Structure 1
Amino acid sequence: MSIKVRLTLMSFLQFFVWGAWMITIGVYWFQNKQWSGSEFGAIFSTLGISSLFMPALTGIIADKWINVEFLYGILHLLFGCTFLYLPHVQDPQTFFWVILLAMLFYMPTIALSNSIAYTLLKKHQYNIIKDFPPIRVWGTVGFIAAMWLTDLTGNKALEGQFYIAAIASIGLGLYSFSLPPCPPLKSKLENASLGGRLGLNAFKLFRNPKMALFFAFSIFLGGALQLTNMYGDAYLSDFGNIPAYANSFVVRHSTIILSISQISETVFILTIPFFLRRFGIKQVMLISMLAWVLRFGLLAYADPISGLWMIIISCIVYGMAFDFFNISGSLFVETSTDANIRSSAQGLFMMMTNGFGAILGSSISGYVIEHYFTNTEGQMMWQEIWICFAAYALVIAFLFSFLFKHKHDPSALEDIVEAKN
């Protein structure tokens, strides 16, 4: 089996594990357990809390002491065991702590999977700009497959979604032990300072104004992503309270409708090499921010029947909004850092997007919605909410266009990759 096929399977399972429960956990929370909405916000904050330090910490360990594929496998086994226990939790407070523990294991595996793919592709003389996106696209396919499996097996509101994720994660953990070794770069430690031995040199990237701005905007874009994950399914399901929409396909199978977003990802991932070479990293990220504006704006005026086309286009736009920053950003970090801190740098990127960004998106949006966009009957004012989110993304895009200075050289990115190979 070729290394690209093996990495494709790894990518598929990596995001299958996430897709099995992330979009539908809200249905389980509100319909099955009937726990409060304020406590649900804390559940999504676990992604951010764990991403604040675990990706960077595990990146340091992988850079300095332990084979990446071994560490990756151990973390997936621990996540799987934790999720096997999750369905037995009967109160929201304990649920929070158990899922926080699970996220401490899972969130760093995203950055580690990138490191494994980059390392093995380079080792086998592949070009990561050309060959990584088609591999990563199968991660999105895995996410979609898991969403559909959870929906069509009737597990949207049941504990089965957690068992599906657990079994897949344990299988991936065992599979990762069979991957070619990705050893730490111990030779780099011989004359290194204490900070270098601990892997803290990656934090020096903040001294570079361009990298510091990149990480700052990663926080803001990470917040935008959490807005979609938290409220997308709740928004579509809320149409069920309106008799004209109660029996619509959108309400009955909201998870499948939302999976159009991930299907869109599979298309836009494949366009990343073209857009990077043609427009450069700054323009690609700016396009991502404007795509968030369009996505939120369309949702503000959509409905399951006459406005169904707006929901579908919004889901399609999501692929561009997500991929053009997250995947391109990962490649930007990969080609802008030294080899001995590469895993740590990927961990820092994850810390900004899924750490501080997730906390920003879940906590601030929850406060704003509760105090400004909930009517006297306790119902969410969805149109105003989505317009507010669109305005937020527009302000970020405006600031980014002026503050982030980056001159595009069509041959530079390719040259960097070839040099690192």
Structure 2
Amino acid sequence: MQFFVWAAWLITIANYWFGTKQWDGADFGVIFSTMGISSLFMPTITGIIADKWINAEKLYAILHILYAATMFYLPQVDNPHTFFWVILVAMCFYMPTIALSNSISYTTLKNGNFDVVKNFPPIRVWGTVGFIAAMWITNLTGSKASANQFYIAGVSALFLGIYSFTLPACKPQNLISEKKTFAQKLGLESFKLFADYKMALFFIFSMFLGAALQLTNAYGDVFLDEFKLFPVFAESFVIKYSTIILSISQISETLFILAIPFFLKRFGIKWVIAIAMFAWVLRFGLFAFGDPSANLWMIITSCIVYGMAFDFFNISGSLFVETSTTPKIRSSAQGLFMMMTNGFGAVFGSLISGWMISKYFTTYYTNIGSLSKYVNSEADNAHLLNFLKNKGITVLQNGDLSRALDVKDWHNIWLAFTIYVLVIAIVFVVIFKHKHTRAEVEAINHL
């Protein structure tokens, strides 16, 4: 349920933004930046609250109920700027629950005398199952471009919040008696790691690669959906069930995670991270040349490759931090790793991509005659008029459109993303120097 309440809209919100609301594409990037902005401070704040004052499961429940309330309110918003602030509030409630869910799980397992290392991964995999289930339900109920996706998220989050009050008690620990500075309490001490050249390089690359994840989440579904402009693809299974097709990416995650120990032992952390980067190159490159017909295999392969791109970087990166820092700041360092990828990286990727796509890769058609390249027959013309009607656009007597139709050049968009990640991957391989250490070998052996 933790990931179900997020995935109900995360992959499909672009269809609502571009298709239903017809809002400006340049503003869309800021929607995904809200996850990064909230990740910069909310997990730390709620972590302190759970450590000192409130049971973690109760705080978790309250946050999900508040998240549900914002989801119910979202469909009432008719202004993109207001929409941004409501989503930001929603993310401030949701993002810290990811860390809290892990904390609650660890505490419950330890209290039950379970082995966390052995027993948590089989539990966590159900998070991916929940993510996939939400994508399928949103698609199969015809909600991927409507406000219903937010209601699905809201209802399920409300249920989760109420249910969470019944979870085993995870009381505030207050175990640390030593006095700490405010900076230490916020985990800011880990920023000292930037004084180490190799760690600084790693965190910078983490930020740039974190941006890539936002690109695929933000634009993957709307990319497939917009093939319906072309009559030859209009009735394609891929377009009707684009969210289900993309869920192959999450299914792939559950499979590639099993291969990580083999790759780490065989190639080491640096090269597994490099493999993840080149997997991102394939992810975007295959999207650039894929289509719902003859090149459908490229889209399917891109979704399969995603599992390697996502898992290999996140797990090997976390392991690098684990083996490169002292126990005193290890937790803070892991938080910094997440902050660079899901915080600064998310903000960077969302804002830059939204601006870039709108300015350089979007054509705004204002007259029906300018759309003639999409028409080769009377049937094509009828399809185009129906397409415009579904977009809420009417053709005036002089041929002008009542509202500009924005068509994105997805081929060059994905190529630009491909080049971006390729440059990062090559630079990483050249300048990031790292060799296996004994600590790494021991950590890998525990996988």
Determine what percentage of the aligned residue pairs are the same residue.
Answer: 65
Superposed, 1:359-378 pairs within 5 Å as: 359-375=347-363, 377=365, 378=406
User: Are residues 198 and 222 of structure 1, via their aligned partners in 2, closer, same or farther at CA, if it must alter by over 3 Å?
Assistant: closer
Which residue matches 1:269? 257
- State the SS of the aligned residue for 1:14: coil
Q: Match for 2:203 among 210, 215, 220?
A: 215
1:407 aligns with 2:422: no
Which residue matches 2:115? 126
**Partner deviation per Cα, 1:165-198 (whole Å, 9 max, x = no partner):** 1222233334444444555553323244454345
- How far did 1:125 drift? 5.1
- State the SS of the aligned residue for 2:233: coil
User: Are residues 202 and 370 of structure 1, via their aligned partners in 2, closer, same or farther at CA, if it must alter by over 3 Å?
Assistant: same
Greater Rg over alpha carbons, structure: 2
Q: Match for 1:100 among 82, 88, 91?
A: 88
User: Are residues 165 and 115 of structure 1, via their aligned partners in 2, closer, same or farther at CA, if it must alter by over 3 Å?
Assistant: same
1:224 aligns with 2:252: no
Query: CA contact under 8 A between 1:59 and 1:344: conserved in structure 2?
Result: no
| 99-108 or 305-314, larger mean C-alpha shift | 99-108
1:352 aligns with 2:374: no
**Partner deviation per Cα, 1:393-416 (whole Å, 9 max, x = no partner):** 111112222333332247745459
Structure 1 letter corresponding to 2:64: H
Structure 2 letter corresponding to 1:235: F
Which residue matches 1:388? 416
CA distance in 2 between counterparts of 1:75 and 1:345 reads 25
- State the SS of the aligned residue for 2:82: helix
User: Are residues 380 and 198 of structure 1, via their aligned partners in 2, closer, same or farther at CA, if it must alter by over 3 Å?
Assistant: closer
| 143-152 or 76-85, larger mean C-alpha shift | 76-85
User: Are residues 415 and 91 of structure 1, via their aligned partners in 2, closer, same or farther at CA, if it must alter by over 3 Å?
Assistant: closer
Query: CA contact under 8 A between 1:297 and 1:390: conserved in structure 2?
Result: yes
- How far did 1:120 drift? 5.0
Structure 1 letter corresponding to 2:423: V
CA distance in 1 between counterparts of 2:216 and 2:160 reads 27
Which residue matches 1:4? none
- State the SS of the aligned residue for 1:266: helix
Q: Match for 1:156 among 132, 140, 144?
A: 144
User: Are residues 26 and 168 of structure 1, via their aligned partners in 2, closer, same or farther at CA, if it must alter by over 3 Å?
Assistant: same
1:397 aligns with 2:425: yes
Which residue matches 1:286? 274
User: Are residues 195 and 240 of structure 1, via their aligned partners in 2, closer, same or farther at CA, if it must alter by over 3 Å?
Assistant: closer
| 351-360 or 362-371, larger mean C-alpha shift | 362-371
User: Are residues 31 and 309 of structure 1, via their aligned partners in 2, closer, same or farther at CA, if it must alter by over 3 Å?
Assistant: same
| 328-337 or 284-293, larger mean C-alpha shift | 328-337
CA distance in 2 between counterparts of 1:293 and 1:144 reads 24
- How far did 1:336 drift? 5.5
Q: Match for 1:57 among 39, 45, 53?
A: 45
Which residue matches 1:9? none
CA distance in 1 between counterparts of 2:56 and 2:433 reads 34
| 103-112 or 68-77, larger mean C-alpha shift | 68-77
1:145 aligns with 2:133: yes
CA distance in 2 between counterparts of 1:82 and 1:181 reads 27
- How far did 1:334 drift? 5.3
Which residue matches 2:314? 326
User: Are residues 105 and 173 of structure 1, via their aligned partners in 2, closer, same or farther at CA, if it must alter by over 3 Å?
Assistant: same
| TM-score between the two structures when normalised by the length of structure 2 | 0.81
Structure 2 letter corresponding to 1:302: G
- How far did 1:304 drift? 0.7
Which residue matches 1:35? 23
Structure 2 letter corresponding to 1:266: T
User: Are residues 410 and 144 of structure 1, via their aligned partners in 2, closer, same or farther at CA, if it must alter by over 3 Å?
Assistant: farther
Which residue matches 2:294? 306
CA distance in 2 between counterparts of 1:119 and 1:341 reads 21
- State the SS of the aligned residue for 1:187: coil
**Partner deviation per Cα, 1:287-311 (whole Å, 9 max, x = no partner):** 1111000111111111111000000
CA distance in 1 between counterparts of 2:24 and 2:180 reads 51
| 137-146 or 277-286, larger mean C-alpha shift | 277-286
CA distance in 2 between counterparts of 1:203 and 1:183 reads 29
CA distance in 2 between counterparts of 1:83 and 1:240 reads 28
- How far did 1:236 drift? 0.9
How many residues are matched? Answer: 405
CA distance in 1 between counterparts of 2:36 and 2:360 reads 24
User: Are residues 242 and 216 of structure 1, via their aligned partners in 2, closer, same or farther at CA, if it must alter by over 3 Å?
Assistant: same
- How far did 1:90 drift? 2.8
- How far did 1:255 drift? 1.0
- How far did 1:102 drift? 0.2
- State the SS of the aligned residue for 2:41: helix
Q: Match for 1:249 among 237, 258, 276?
A: 237
Which residue matches 2:376? none
| TM-score between the two structures when normalised by the length of structure 1 | 0.86
- How far did 1:114 drift? 3.3
CA distance in 2 between counterparts of 1:191 and 1:36 reads 50
- How far did 1:322 drift? 1.1
1:167 aligns with 2:155: yes
Query: CA contact under 8 A between 1:137 and 1:269: conserved in structure 2?
Result: no
Q: Which runs of 5+ in 1 are unaligned?
A: 1-12
User: Are residues 106 and 388 of structure 1, via their aligned partners in 2, closer, same or farther at CA, if it must alter by over 3 Å?
Assistant: same
CA distance in 1 between counterparts of 2:34 and 2:248 reads 26
Structure 2 letter corresponding to 1:164: I
Query: CA contact under 8 A between 1:112 and 1:343: conserved in structure 2?
Result: no
Query: CA contact under 8 A between 1:111 and 1:347: conserved in structure 2?
Result: no
User: Are residues 264 and 415 of structure 1, via their aligned partners in 2, closer, same or farther at CA, if it must alter by over 3 Å?
Assistant: closer
Q: Which has the higher contact order (CA 8 A, sep 6+)?
A: 1
- How far did 1:384 drift? 1.6
- State the SS of the aligned residue for 1:20: helix
CA distance in 2 between counterparts of 1:184 and 1:337 reads 26
User: Are residues 198 and 94 of structure 1, via their aligned partners in 2, closer, same or farther at CA, if it must alter by over 3 Å?
Assistant: closer
Q: Which runs of 5+ in 2 are unaligned?
A: 366-405
Structure 2 letter corresponding to 1:387: L
Query: CA contact under 8 A between 2:45 and 2:186: conserved in structure 1?
Result: no
User: Are residues 132 and 242 of structure 1, via their aligned partners in 2, closer, same or farther at CA, if it must alter by over 3 Å?
Assistant: same
Which residue matches 1:6? none
- How far did 1:106 drift? 0.9
